[in-house]
């Protein structure tokens, strides 16, 4: 049986890294992408075989990512699964105190970056009439919360892009899915609060959040569903979370 290939963006940490590990352990060949070459090198060393290929690019650089994907060998171009995981939150202030650079980063990474990667990979799937695109979104795309306007908007856009893509590709033999995690403890909050470790840790205080591995295991479940089954949408939350704003925080 031919080895399947998965391309994962944002594969250098958190959900993307754990998804790469699980799929690789299950026999998939992995195309791991990210902005940090040293982490991609570490992942390649961890896997230590020929079933991993790394591409270092920022999803905001459409020309660079297109060039790298187009330059893949014919073997690596046979991409069965695209997991659009790269995404970030930047800043957390009321809209009236927001920062344009933060807003632009979220739009460029979470929306335009996802579209650019999909644009580059989709022709390879269309040519084979086969494939599966999984977009990693967020509960924030469904439910607004204070000080989250642009992040929530960016994830809402991912949801609508996913739904429209599923309709557009309905006759093409390509699955399109979305996973919407709630609170996940990764580098997410550290990035959002620009390296403020104390503020990042407070996000998870008193609750047991999801881990990157928890989300990755559900993504892999979606990937391995029977050919005729498309798990179109999954909302995944920790037990301690009921919505974007309601948490069961324990006190010591």
Average pLDDT over residues 223-241: 97
Q: Is residue 205 part of a domain?
A: yes
Q: What is the pLDDT of residue 135?
A: 98
Q: Is residue 49 part of a domain?
A: yes
- What is the Cβ-side half-sphere exposure of residue 91, based on CA atoms within 13 angstroms? 16
Q: What is the pLDDT of residue 2?
A: 67
CATH of the domain at 48: 3.40.50.720
Tally of domains in the chain: 1
Find the DSSP H helices in 59-107. 62-70, 74-77, 100-106
Q: Is residue 30 part of a domain?
A: yes
Q: Is residue 250 part of a domain?
A: no
Q: What is the DSSP code (8-state) at residue 225? A: S
Q: Is residue 201 part of a domain?
A: yes
In which domain, by residue range, is 190 found? Answer: 5-236
Residue 61: burial class (beta carbons within 10 Å; 0-12, 13-18, 19+): middle
pLDDT of 1 strictly over 60: no
Average pLDDT over residues 23-38: 95
Q: Is residue 78 part of a domain?
A: yes
pLDDT in tens, 188-204: 777 787 777 888 788 88
Q: Residue 228: CB partners within 8 Å, gap ≥ 6?
A: none
Q: Is residue 105 part of a domain?
A: yes
Q: What is the pLDDT of residue 251?
A: 79
Share above pLDDT 90 across residues of the chain, in percent, rounded to a whole number: 88
Q: How far apart are CA 223 and CA 226, in angstroms?
A: 9
- Beta-sheet pairing, 52-56 with 210-211: unpaired
Q: Residue 236: CB partners within 8 Å, gap ≥ 6?
A: 179, 180, 181, 182, 210, 214, 215, 218
Q: What is the pLDDT of residue 190?
A: 76
Average pLDDT over residues 97-114: 96
Q: Is 151 a catalytic residue?
A: yes
Choose the catalytic residue: 28, 145, 151, 221. Answer: 151
**Mean pLDDT, the chain, integer:** 94
Q: Is residue 14 part of a domain?
A: yes
Average pLDDT over residues 90-103: 94
pLDDT in tens, 115-151: 999 999 999 999 999 999 999 999 999 999 999 999 9
- Count CB atoms within 10 A of the CB of residue 153: 17
């Amino acid at each position: 049986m031919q080895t399947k290939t998965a391309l994962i963006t944002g594969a250098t940490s958190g959900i993307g890294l754990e998804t790469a590990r699980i799929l690789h352990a299950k026999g998939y060949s992995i195309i791991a992408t990210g902005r940090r070459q040293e982490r991609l090198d570490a992942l390649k060393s961890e896997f230590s075989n020929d079933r991993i290929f790394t591409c270092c690019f920022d999803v905001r650089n459409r020309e660079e990512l297109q060039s790298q994907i187009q330059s893949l060998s014919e073997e690596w171009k046979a991409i069965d699964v695209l997991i659009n995981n790269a995404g970030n939150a930047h800043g957390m202030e009321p809209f009236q105190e927001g920062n344009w650079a933060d807003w632009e980063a979220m739009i460029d990474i979470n929306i335009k970056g996802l579209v650019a990667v999909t644009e580059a990979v989709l022709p390879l799937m269309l040519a084979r009439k086969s494939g599966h695109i999984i977009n990693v979104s967020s509960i924030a795309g469904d439910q607004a919360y204070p000080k989250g306007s642009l992040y929530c908007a960016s994830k809402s856009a991912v949801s609508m892009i996913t739904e429209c893509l599923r309709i557009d590709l309905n006759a093409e033999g390509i699955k399109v899915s979305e996973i919407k995690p709630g609170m996940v403890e990764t580098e997410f909050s550290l990035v959002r609060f620009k390296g403020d470790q104390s503020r990042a840790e407070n996000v998870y205080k008193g609750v047991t959040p999801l881990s990157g591995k928890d989300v990755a295991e559900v993504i892999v479940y979606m990937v391995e569903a029977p050919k005729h089954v498309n798990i179109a949408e999954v909302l995944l939350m920790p037990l301690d979370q009921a919505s974007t704003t309601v948490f069961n925080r324990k006190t010591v």
